[in-house]
Amino acid sequence: MRILVVGSGGREHALVWAISRSAGDHEIQCAPGNPGTAALATNVAIAADDVDGLVKHAVSTGIDLCVVGPEVPLVMGLADRLRAKGIRVVGPSAAAAQLEGSKAFSKAFMERHGIPTAAYRTFSSADHADALAYVRKAGAPIVIKASGLAAGKGAVVCMTLSEAENTLAEMMQHNAFGEAGAEVVVEEFMEGEEASVFALCDGRDYVLLSHAQDHKRIGEGDTGPNTGGMGAYAPAPVLSDDLLQTASSRIIEPTLAGMAAEGAPYEGILYVGLMLTEVGPKVVGYNCRLGDPETQPVLMLLESDALDLFLAAAEGRLKDHQVRVSSESAACVVLASEGYPGPYEKGKRIEGVEAAGALDGVVVFQAGTRSSSEGLESSGGRVLAVTARGPDLKTALDRCYQAAALISFEGMQYRRDIGRKGLARLAAV
C-alpha cells in the first residue's frame, strides 16, 4: 500500500512516524516533508498548497491513501479532488473544512445547531466603525478573531478596551492578517481553562483520540503573543470523563449531524478547542486537522494501528471501531528560533538531536529544519518538537526537558513551564 502524507512540519513527522509503526507492507511518501520524515519515508518535492501537483502525483504514482496534515490544502479542496480520482483521504471536503477556514461560518453554524459557544458578532473589514462601537459597548476583556486562516495566530484576547481598539485597527484598517481579516469575529470573553479534543470521523461515526492541552503564547506564564503552539501534553487532567462525555454529546455529535444535514458530511480529523466554563464545555473554535504540537503527544499515546485506523475512517468503517489509547502520559516542548513568532533568522546549525532522541521514551520530531552540507539546520520559527512518553505526566515532562537540554542552536528558545497547569491539577486531586 502506498500512503502519502501531506505537509512538512512536526505534525507530519509524527504522522509518518505513527504510520511507519503500523503492521504490513506499505510505502510512505511525504510531500514536501523534512529531514525527519526523510528517515522514515520518501520525501516528494511538492508544496502542501500545490493542489494540482499533489493530485497529479497521487494519480501517477498510485497512491492508495492520502493523510492531509495542514489546513490550507483542505480548505483549497485537496480532499475533494483526490476523492474524485478514487483515492482514499483522511481529511474533510472544502465545504466541511469551512469550520476552520471561516470563523464567521463556524460561529453561524454553531448558532444554527444549538452548539454551545461564546456570544459573537461578525463584521466585514469595511465595518470598522460598527465593530468599534460594538466593542466599546461590550467592554473588555473581549476576543477578536480574523475569520480566515491565520496559522493559529489570528485570535487575540484583549484584556483592555485600548488593546481591543488597537487590534481592530490592525486587522480591519492595516490588514495585519491580509485576506484572513476580510471578516472579523468579535466574541465575548469566556472564563475557564482550555482543552483540545480530537475526533476521527467518517461522515457518520467517530472515535476519540487522546485529548490534550496546548500552550499558545510564546512566553512562560502564558504571556506574549500567540504562536502556532509552544508545547502540549496529553491527556489533559482538566478534562474529566464526565466533561468529555458532555462535549461528545453536546458538541461533537451535533457538529457531525449538522454538517451532514447541510450536505457536507465531515470526514477526517475534527479538532474541537474547548473552554471549560462554569456552565459546561463551550467551543472556542474548530480545526479541520490535527493540531501541532498536540499531534505529537497524542500519537505517542495511540496504541491502535494508525494505518488501520486511518483506513477505517477513509472507507467509512468507524462504526464499532475500537481505539486503544495508552493510560500513560506524553508531552511535547517546542524549540523555536530567536525572534519567533516575529521575524527570525534561518540557517542555524542544530546539534544534539541524535543524543536527545536516544533517551528513554523520547522522540524528537522535526518541524522547521533542513539539511545542508554542514548538517541539520533551522529553517522555520518552530524548529523541533521534543516529545516524550512516560508512566505519568511528570515523568513525560522531565524526559522532554532532559532531551531539550541536549539540543542546541544559536538563539534557541523554549518555554520551561509546559504542563504546569496539568501537574498542579494532578497534585490537587
169 and 46 inside one domain: no
The predicted model scores a pTM of 0.95
Rounded CA-CA distance 364/49 in Å is 25
Residues 6+ apart with CB under 8 A from 263: 95
The domain boundary, picked from 188, 212, 229, lies at 188
Classify residue 114: in a domain, yes or no.
no
204 and 163 inside one domain: no
165 and 201 inside one domain: no
Cβ atoms < 10 Å from Cβ of 75 = 22
Residue 104 has pLDDT above 80, yes or no: yes
- Rounded to an integer, the average pLDDT of 149-155 is 77
Q: What are the tens digits of pLDDT across the range 53-102?
A: 999 999 999 999 999 999 999 999 999 999 999 999 999 999 999 999 99
225 and 180 inside one domain: no
279 and 133 inside one domain: no
Helix (H, G, I), strand (E, B) or coil at 352: coil
265 and 183 inside one domain: no
157 and 239 inside one domain: no
Classify residue 111: in a domain, yes or no.
no
Q: What are the tens digits of pLDDT across the range 4-38?
A: 999 999 999 999 999 999 988 899 999 999 999 99
Q: What are the tens digits of pLDDT across the range 172-194?
A: 888 888 888 888 999 999 999 99
Query: Number of folded domains in the chain?
Result: 3
Classify residue 266: in a domain, yes or no.
yes
Whether the CB-CB separation of 49 and 61 falls below 8 Å is answered with: no
89 and 157 inside one domain: no
The CATH code of the domain that includes 397 is: 3.30.470.20
Classify residue 147: in a domain, yes or no.
yes
The domain boundary, picked from 45, 78, 93, lies at 93
Round the CA-based radius of gyration of the chain to a whole number and report it. Answer: 21
The domain boundary, picked from 141, 167, 188, lies at 188
The CATH code of the domain that includes 60 is: 3.40.50.20
Helix pair 161-172, 128-138: axis angle to 10 deg: 160
339 and 359 inside one domain: yes
Residue 330 has pLDDT above 80, yes or no: yes
310 and 367 inside one domain: yes
Q: Are strands 231-234 and 382-390 parallel, antiparallel or unpaired?
A: unpaired
130 and 215 inside one domain: no
Classify residue 158: in a domain, yes or no.
yes
Domain that holds residue 59: 2-93
235 and 314 inside one domain: yes
